[in-house]
Amino acid sequence: MDSPTSAGDRRHVFVGEVRERLMQVFRETCLMRDWIVLGLEVMPDHAHLFVSVPPKWSPSFYVGSAGNISAQTIQRYIELQRKHQVDEDA
């Protein structure tokens, strides 16, 4: 039996505008915190962010930040799409 997080269950949400916005938000966040982006790959169902982070930041903080950024970017996109759909239906 597959686990709920198996690769076959992943949704392809990091595409198009969402992908571009996610990359932009990752870069802006890293810049604001003086983190150096060493690599950034955004696939349709996941992202890889390689950063150089000063020692004042704990690993759990920057890993959590990346996850929160992803979730917030997706949520904002969904909300905008719903609003756009409502506006078209009106």
Quickly list DSSP for 16-59. HHHHHHHHHHHHHHHHHTT-EEEEEEE-SS-EEEEEE--TTS-H
Domain count, the chain: 1
pLDDT higher than threshold 60 for residue 54: yes
Query: Domain of 50: which CATH number?
Result: 3.30.70.1290
**Does a structural domain hold residue 32?**
yes
> Which pLDDT score, from 0 to 100, does residue 4 have?
45
Summarised one tens digit per residue, pLDDT across range 74-85 is: 788 778 877 777
> Which pLDDT score, from 0 to 100, does residue 41 have?
94
What pTM was computed for the model?
Answer: 0.67
> Which pLDDT score, from 0 to 100, does residue 40 have?
95
**Does a structural domain hold residue 65?**
yes
**Does a structural domain hold residue 46?**
yes
**Does a structural domain hold residue 1?**
no
Domain of 61? 10-89
Summarised one tens digit per residue, pLDDT across range 3-50 is: 444 556 677 878 888 889 889 988 988 898 899 999 999 999 888 989
Tell me the three state secondary structure of residue 11: coil
